[in-house]
Structure 1
Amino acid sequence: MVGASHSVPVVPTSPTSPTFLVSPVVPSPRRTTEDGGSVWERARRWYEDALGWPTEPGEPVRLRTGVRFDVLDVPADAGYATLQRLGRAGGLGACAPAPGFPVAVRGERMLLLVAAGGAEELPGLLEWLEWGSLPLGLTAVGAGGLVDAPLAPGPGLPPRPPDRDGLRGAAVWLRPPEPECEVESSLPALSALGDAGTPLDLARLVRTLATQCHRVRLTAGVPPRARPVARVG
């Protein structure tokens, strides 16, 4: 019929129609810094060139343990209590401007760097200290292991990429390593005596950590006291 409008019928689309298929995920653009490199590239250069720490290829940057250091992984509450207790007792060595050995926090966990080989010593130390039969939540990462590289905060450290997927709960430095001094000389070691100017004795650190981990387990469910604010620099 002349003058009649011709409309195309709308056909309802079912949820299984190709119209509802999710398109391929397009990777987000690499964030760059002022020097033109991505934050991950800048972080990798900092760890490898400034500290001499080996990293694993890929993103995010991961540090290889068992080469320059090992890592003790403990509940954050126990870690804070341990640092406070050892600090009051003068048990932490000094490497100004950040006293003591490097420490990072990752969500509800704390990562304490110790001398390479410390992870292998942990089971024997716990048995010797009569903590071996109790579940403490105290673990170690040693030879052949990997840990995510903390990126911030810290003076001179590569910035943490903002709003990037997968970074929630990522590790950040509580006490960052200082390239100006030999980091390995400040790491808790089993052979150290813990006197002034020497690294903290690993056995003393493990004993204090185990005690605080046990206390955390006993007080589970009890509202924790306010934690100290991380101070960097």
Structure 2
Amino acid sequence: MVPTVLSVPFPRRPLDASDPVRHWYENELGWATVPGLPGQPAVELLTGLRFDVLDVPAQAGYAALRHLRPGSPVAVRADRMRLLVAAGSADELPGLLEWLEWGTLALDLEAVGAGGRVEAPLPPGPDRAQNSSQGAAVWLRPPEPGCEVEPSLPTMSALGGGVGGAPDLVRLVDTMATECHRIRLRRSCGQPLAFS
């Protein structure tokens, strides 16, 4: 009989009850947070509960913004953009990319869904520009306290448009995949060919 080996997770840092970032997410927005792992941001957002996240190069994300409602939350960190999409969208992404005929290409497009976590961008405020220059994630389009975020998030729909006027996830993903591919082509064109 082979003994079962149990892995023990790293201990979590306790959340400080006076932490304004945690307070804003949990009390103002009603979003679930967890403490970051050692060496990570102090607060992280749980994905898959109220939203999933599409993580793309910022350049591709900016091209996709036209497919989002003004109230759709979008965060940036360095050269990456995180777009909030309807919960469950991360599970749909591989099949959607395959259906759009992007499935065979290596795209710099990732989805974080159920069981995942992402860095909590700093809440909007006067010191936001300073924090973004220091590498912290910030909201490009922050969520509005007191407003339900879910109706504004891109979602799948059999009708070709988002449910209840929400943006269509298919158009958003197709635009981002196209832009990710363009970025990849530009980078590869700058490299000498292997046979030259």
Shorter-chain TM band: 0.7 to 0.9
Offset from partner CA, 1:38-63 (integer Å, 9 cap, x none):
xxx11101101111100003561100
Q: How does 1:187-226 map to 2 (within 5 A)?
A: 187-191=153-157, 193-194=160-161, 198-220=165-187
Amino acid in structure 2 at the alignment position of 1:151: L
Following TM superposition, where does structure 1 have runs of at least 4 consecutive aligned residues deviating by more than 6 angstroms?
A: none
Three-state SS of the structure 1 residue aligned to 2:154 is coil
Structure with bigger gyration radius: 1
**8 Å contact kept, 1:46–1:158:** no
Give the number of aligned pairs.
168
Establish whether residue 119 from structure 1 lines up as the match of residue 90 from structure 2. yes
Cα deviation for residue 220 of structure 1 reads 2.1
Match of residue 63 from structure 1: 45
Provide the rounded CA distance (Å) in 1 between the counterparts of 2:152 and 2:127. 25
Deviation for aligned residue 1:216? 1.1
In structure 1, the residue corresponding to 2:165 is in which secondary structure? coil
Instruction: Please state whether the residue corresponding to 2:83 is helix, strand or coil.
Output: strand
Q: Comparing both structures, which one devotes a greater share of its residues to strand?
A: 2
Secondary structure of the residue that 2:92 maps to in structure 1?
Answer: helix
Cα 1:50/1:158, change in 2 over 3 Å = farther
Q: Secondary structure at the match of 1:70?
A: strand
Match of 2:140 among 174, 181, 186: 174
Which residue does the alignment assign to 2:13? none
Q: TM-score, normalised by structure 2?
A: 0.76
Q: Secondary structure at the match of 1:135?
A: coil
Q: Read off the aligned partner of 1:175 and give its amino acid letter.
A: R
1:92 correspondence with 2:65:
no
1:150 to 2:132 alignment: no
Q: In structure 2, list runs of 5 or more residues that go unmatched.
A: 1-16, 191-196
Q: Which residue of 2 aligns with 1:76?
A: 58
Q: Which amino acid aligns with 1:208?
A: T
Q: Is the 8 Å Cα contact of residues 156 and 162 (structure 2) preserved in structure 1? A: no
Give 3-state SS (helix, strand or coil) of 2:187's partner: coil
Take 1:75 and 1:169, find their aligned partners in 2: how far apart are those partners? Answer: 15
Alpha-carbon separation, structure 1, partners of 2:62 and 2:189 = 17
Match of residue 50 from structure 1: 28
C-alpha displacement at 1:100, in angstroms? 3.7
Question: Unaligned regions of 5+ residues in structure 1, if any?
Answer: 1-35, 94-98, 224-233
Instruction: Give the AA of the match of 2:173.
Output: V
More helix by share: 2
Give me the whole-angstrom Cα distance separating, in 2, the residues matched to 1:176 and 1:209.
Answer: 20
Distance, in Å, in 1 between the alignment partners of 2:126 and 2:25 is 9
Give the TM-score of the pair, scaled to structure 1.
0.65
> CA distance change for structure 1 residues 100 and 221 in 2, over 3 Å: closer, same or farther?
farther
What is the root-mean-square deviation of aligned Cα atoms in Å?
Answer: 2.8
